[in-house]
Amino acid sequence: MKTFKNYLVGGATFILLLTLVACSEPTSEKSAAEAKLITEQDTVFIGFLLDTLQDERWYNDKELFEEEVANLGGRVKTLAANGLDDVQISQAELLIEEGVDVLVVVPRDAAASAAIVELAHEADVKVISYDRLITNSDLDYYISFDNERVGELQAQEIVNNVDTGNFAYIGGAESDNNAILFRQGAMNILQPLIDSGDIELVYDQYTEGWNPDVAEENMLSALDEQGDDIDAVVAANDGTAGGVINALSTVGLDGEIPVSGQDAELNAVRRIVDGTQTMTVYKSINTLAVQAAEMAFKVAAGDDIPTETTVNNGQIDVPSILLEPITVTEDNIDETIIQDGYLNEEDIYTTP
């Protein structure tokens, strides 16, 4: 059951997406259904807070997470904040009031989302940070990929193609802790080459809001500053890579220099096939969503979650599960994302 509500925040209207899984009541009886969720003591009720549903990747997470919660016999309400911090905090308050057993959060802003953890803990509700880390808080658990490793894979594949010359780094949103980790990982690979003088990092800029249009503007600035003399680009995800490639196309360099990405989005994989993007990083969203749902159920039951590592969020060492990312190039598309069922061959290889 899906319903949409319009809200006015800061003079702008946004759409709030509400999703209830395994709920048989019709939309007209929504209030009664929500009340029933609170009183069903044997049913796990999970709140899933997303930063946005504007990116292809997050639709996949949403559907897979909800499906697994339903398979486990629980209920989930998914709310998307459309990139607004105050909205996400208000949505957390709403779900806490409705009686969720646990909150699973993709934070809009790593630091601002600490308020969500505080609100949840006041109501004895635990919080799992999903994919992105909530910083400066007593966060209960974190599940993601080894994001520093993601950055290493991005930079290494670019260096495998070009290991001298002028490099540009087009990062993600600095407000997202993952973007900082991606850059840190990339610099693990690039810094020795910078120190040796083999490469020069001539442009290094984060991308506000992960916005591809901003990434395109940044890349145009880099090209202008360097007189189009750019030999390689490490872009933090597939969205920013798309913006970079648009900018390169204006000077005839698309397909001529290597560009990294991440998330294995359909358009990015098509660009890899076409030769304008060098690589992406596949993070098995299937695995992430399923394990996050299973973790949420255990947390709701009061079980301790066995973890092999911790990640410091600026306040505590958060018990964490970090999954392994995979480099995808034109040589291994079939045995990675297609074999895993993440994307299908027809969509990738058929011209839209």
DSSP string, 66-101: HHHHHHTT-EEEEEE-TT-HHHHHHHHHHHHHHT-S
Q: State the pLDDT at residue 194.
A: 98
pLDDT > 70 in the chain, percent: 88
100-104, 112-116, 336-340, range with the lowest pLDDT: 336-340
1-5, 78-82, 170-174, range with the lowest pLDDT: 1-5
For the residues 127-145, what does the mean pLDDT come to? 96
Assign 41 a pLDDT band (cuts: 50, 70, 90).
Answer: low
The yes-or-no verdict on residue 40 having pLDDT over 90 is: no
The yes-or-no verdict on residue 304 having pLDDT over 90 is: no
Domain 147-283+327-349: which topology? Rossmann fold (3.40.50)
Assign 39 a pLDDT band (cuts: 50, 70, 90).
Answer: low
DSSP string, 221-277: HHHHHTTT---EEEESSHHHHHHHHHHHHTTT-TTTS-B---S--HHHHHHHHHTS-
CA 66 to each of CA 23, 138, 151, 314, 336: distance values in angstroms, whole numbers, following the listed order:
12, 26, 29, 31, 24
CA nearest neighbour of 237 among 263, 211, 269, 267: 263
CA nearest neighbour of 233 among 262, 257, 255: 257
Tokens matching residue 47 = 């709140």
27-31, 142-146, 178-182, range with the lowest pLDDT: 27-31
Higher pLDDT, 7 or 340: 340
14-18, 42-46, 161-165, range with the lowest pLDDT: 14-18
For the residues 70-87, what does the mean pLDDT come to? 93
The yes-or-no verdict on residue 32 having pLDDT over 70 is: no
Which residues of the chain form beta strands (DSSP E)? 2-9, 12-20, 45-50, 75-80, 102-105, 126-130, 141-145, 165-170, 199-205, 232-235, 280-282, 309-312, 317-323, 326-328
The yes-or-no verdict on residue 274 having pLDDT over 70 is: yes
For the residues 218-224, what does the mean pLDDT come to? 98
For the residues 231-250, what does the mean pLDDT come to? 98
Q: State the pLDDT at residue 23.
A: 37
Assign 54 a pLDDT band (cuts: 50, 70, 90).
Answer: confident
Q: In the chain, what are the domain boundaries?
A: 2-139+284-324, 147-283+327-349
CATH number 2.40.128.20 is the correct assignment for the domain at 2-139+284-324: no
pLDDT tens, 151-166? 999 999 999 999 999 9
pLDDT > 90 in the chain, percent: 80
For the residues 285-294, what does the mean pLDDT come to? 94
Q: State the pLDDT at residue 342.
A: 87
Assign 294 a pLDDT band (cuts: 50, 70, 90).
Answer: very high
Mean pLDDT across the chain, nearest whole number?
89
Same fold: 2-139+284-324 with 147-283+327-349: yes
pLDDT tens, 196-215? 999 999 999 999 999 999 99
Q: State the pLDDT at residue 275.
A: 97
Tokens matching residue 189 = 């690979």
What is d(CA 161, CA 138) in angstroms, rounded to the nearest whole number?
A: 42
2-11, 207-216, 230-239, 321-330, range with the lowest pLDDT: 2-11
The yes-or-no verdict on residue 20 having pLDDT over 90 is: no
Residue 53 zone, left/alpha/beta (φ > 0; ψ -120 to 50; rest): alpha
Assign 341 a pLDDT band (cuts: 50, 70, 90).
Answer: confident
Q: State the pLDDT at residue 256.
A: 97
